[in-house]
Amino acid sequence: MRHYLDHAATTPMRPEARQAWVDASAIVGNASSTHSAGQGARRLLEEARERSAAVLACDPIEVVFTSGGTESINLALQGLWQARQPGTDAIVMPDAEHHATMDTVEALIGAGALLRAVPVYRTAEIDSGEFAAQLPGAALATALVANNEAGTINDAAKLSSSAAASLVPLHFDAVSALGHLPLSFRALRGDAPDAVGLVAMSVAGHKIGAPVGVGALVVARSARLSALLRGGAQQRGLRAGTQDVAGAAAFATAIELAESERESESTRLAALRDRLISGILTRVPDAVLLGDSSRRLPGNAHVLFPGAVGESLLFLLDMAGIAASTGSACQAGVAEPSHVVMAMGRSEQDARSVLRFSLGRTSTDVDVDAVLASIADAYARASGAGSAARS
């Protein structure tokens, strides 16, 4: 029996979303065409946009469907940079962001941007005071709503308020938060002036049971944003190209279902997570829970196993039928130490010794039991592998 504890990477597709995708795929017509077949597709597309907007608490016109979180983040950051106010070159970015953000900012630095880095606390929470201090005169800022590795939840409202006060456009990466936290674009914007404060928010479908390859960027009506893809006027001209009607329909179905069960699922997953964490720390006394102990995503358990090799632990657990994650980035097939763990003040060795267990709507006590039955032996063997590697 397989036990899947890597829902933060991608979660199983919901049957309802799959059916919505199949049904929409049977509709023939380009949503940009003026004939009746095209307008039928357009109606389904705009209904999906309206349904998604209702969950995200924004206007339908502010929902720009994309291919997923990475594209959404690129559109937000590159688009805001290209449309920046003259004389502003700095990008404010915390140290523990997702690689989709870090790599995009790195490319912009190559184009002349200046980085204003913001430290995170030992829990991976963004230092909101330092974030605010770096904002004045910046071209744009970006931040995670919740850390994708450590699971720590940031004070998004405070970060948004600081950006508004400094008249700086802000992007939120809400990919990991979607389906687990209430995400109201209007509430997070607060009383910000039209073109500053929170102006863009990225989400991805495969984190909530929609197909891989569909996501969205919420873009405030008044935001100044340059398009990455050109060749048509679709989606306010922000993303040219034939629109994915079936993907949008599946996304709308998944996000509605995720929101309808969010509170009850958060309670259930938090209880499973706490039992998992307690069981691991009992069986492996050397293990250390990383991230905030209370302000964390309900399904996240990010654990340091001192002296072990994370890749070895991952392999041994996989042999036992358990899927988890090292929480480290994999660039060109080479495992790297987690930049998030090092940003939290840990050593490079620690950054190679972490596992992220992430629970989702299909997770049960049986999955937790499987981890607890295997973790002590896996740690003992991985620690031996670590000792052998160091010698």
Would you please indicate which residues are annotated as catalytic (active-site) residues?
A: 330
CA distance 236 to 226: 11
Contact 153, 176 (CB under 8 A): no
CA distance 118 to 115: 9
**DSSP result, 106-117:** HHHHHTT-EEEE
Pairing of strands 288-290, 300-304: antiparallel
Contact 95, 118 (CB under 8 A): yes
β-sheet with 140-144: strand ranges across: 63-66, 215-219, 197-204, 169-173, 140-144, 90-94, 114-118
**Residues contacting 32, CB < 8 A, separation 6+:** 38, 42, 232, 234, 242, 243
Q: Which two tokens stand for residue 173?
A: 């990466």
Count other Cβ atoms within 10 Å, centred on residue 31.
20
> CA nearest 341: which of 158, 107, 181, 151?
151
| ∠ Cα 90 127 174 (to 5°) | 75
